[in-house]
Structure 1
Amino acid sequence: MEQFSMLGYVTVVSMMVLTPGPNIAIILQSVVTRSARSGFGNLFGIVGGFYFHALCSTVGLTLLLKQSPTMYAVVKTLGACYLVYLGINSLVQAARTRRMPAAQPVNTAANTRPTHGAVLEGFITNVLNPKVGLFYLAIFPQFIGPQDSVPLRSLLLVTIHALFALGWYSILILSFERYRSRLGGASMVMLARVVIGVVLVGLGLRVLLS
């Protein structure tokens, strides 16, 4: 029964990780427009967000969020606005790149952003997504038995989720890095930033309207 229960949980979290969403968009933006290092920074921030949501779920804070439509609306709006902000920032960087010579390598402040900034970016993106918190609130009780230690069991469950995210997103980061190395001139980077910016703005609007 325990093996079946864990298999069900692994299936659920793997589907959640594989489903495209804000996390993948943020990582794609960082790798294509900056570096794989920034992408891994985002990834570590995203994983930190998983543990934050798990902690909130364990102590019952997410339950308050679920029971308060106003709080849920506030968090969702903040998250949506943050995604839109990142998208607009990408479009602004695209406009700046357009003024660069076509053969000139792109080396802006955005490309050399410290890794800790990317970590914070990934963390905020995940924390301001109330759907992740509600996911933990809905999923955790299904896989925590009455005789289990809630903190230890929660730690195990969120760690499994984190390991899946680390594995899959690492593959994506390395794949995106290969693509970025082939971009070459500023014109291709500009195009990538425009596409990513539009995707981020669209994701933000979808979160806001959902």
Structure 2
Amino acid sequence: MGFPVDLATYGAFLLTASAIVLTPGPDTLIILRYSLSSGRNVGLATVFGVQMGLVGHTLLAIFGISVLIASIPVLFKTVALLGAAYIAWIGIQSFREHGLLHVGATGKPPVSARKAFRDAMLCNLLNPKVILLFLALFPNFVDNTRDDVPYQLIALSLGLMTINTLWQAPMALAAEAVRRWLKNERIYKLITHSTGILMITVAALMVYDNLF
């Protein structure tokens, strides 16, 4: 069996997906947040968590659950509000950390790789805009007349995850260099609190979009 998606169609999808991935959102914020506070390894674990969230969305799309969620307003709003609450909670945590000076004393980062992976995965899974991305973007590049629609969805999702990783992994690695400046606790607090405020703002906008 050959590649499930026509190469010209796949190229058009990758260009469209790239424009979407480069637009900052909760995934970008959580990667910056954890990379800056806890270092390269934790940042890369966050990137991996985002990709696992996309794997989850792919499975939801294949089994028709994404369509079900989007077709029931109460269910969709519930998912959106849960996502907003989770993103806000992560943002609030930035005001409860003690900074890199504390890290140096204990030898442990403020956030473990396991927690970063879990938070990033749940943040992505509970983001209603990602659900809509799969519902609005993917059908334009899927040939429903064929019997291999699940394989087409998987191919498109792998392309999306590849673009995501190529954009987000360097971001996490670059944040490691920035951490040298964060040994000054004032600068550390300024940056981490700023990312925290941005995450809380994103959460508030999600609540506004789904309640008003």
Provide the C-alpha distance between the structure 2 equivalents of 1:4 and 1:21, rounded to a whole number of angstroms.
28
Percent of aligned positions that are identical: 26
Give 1:105's aligned residue.
101
**1:148 Cα deviation from its structure 2 partner:** 5.0
Unaligned runs of 5+ in 1: 98-103
Number of residue pairs matched by the alignment: 202
Find out whether 1:168 has 2:172 as its counterpart.
no
Alpha-carbon contact 1:106-1:185 (below 8 Å) kept:
no
RMSD after superposition: 1.9
Provide the C-alpha distance between the structure 1 equivalents of 2:122 and 2:107, rounded to a whole number of angstroms.
21
Provide the C-alpha distance between the structure 2 equivalents of 1:48 and 1:109, rounded to a whole number of angstroms.
28
Provide the C-alpha distance between the structure 1 equivalents of 2:136 and 2:107, rounded to a whole number of angstroms.
41
Larger mean CA deviation between 4-13 and 118-127 belongs to: 4-13
Give 2:93's aligned residue.
89
> Residue deviations 1:99-153, cap 9 Å, x none?
xxxxx82316972533121111110000000110121122222212122511211
Provide the C-alpha distance between the structure 2 equivalents of 1:83 and 1:24, rounded to a whole number of angstroms.
12
1:190 maps to amino acid:
K
1:137-176 equivalence runs, <5 A = 137-145=135-143, 146-147=145-146, 149-176=148-175
1:178-197 equivalence runs, <5 A = 178-197=177-196
1:22-171 equivalence runs, <5 A = 22-93=26-97, 96-97=98-99, 105-107=101-103, 111-145=109-143, 146-147=145-146, 149-171=148-170
After TM superposition, the score normalised by the length of structure 1 is 0.90
Alpha-carbon contact 2:37-2:111 (below 8 Å) kept:
no
Larger mean CA deviation between 113-122 and 58-67 belongs to: 113-122
Cα gap change, 1:34 to 1:22, in 2 (>3 Å): same
Provide the C-alpha distance between the structure 1 equivalents of 2:107 and 2:85, rounded to a whole number of angstroms.
23
Unaligned runs of 5+ in 2: none
1:121 maps to amino acid:
D
**1:13 Cα deviation from its structure 2 partner:** 0.9
- Secondary structure at the aligned position of 2:102 is classed as coil
Cα gap change, 1:63 to 1:92, in 2 (>3 Å): same
1:175 maps to amino acid:
A
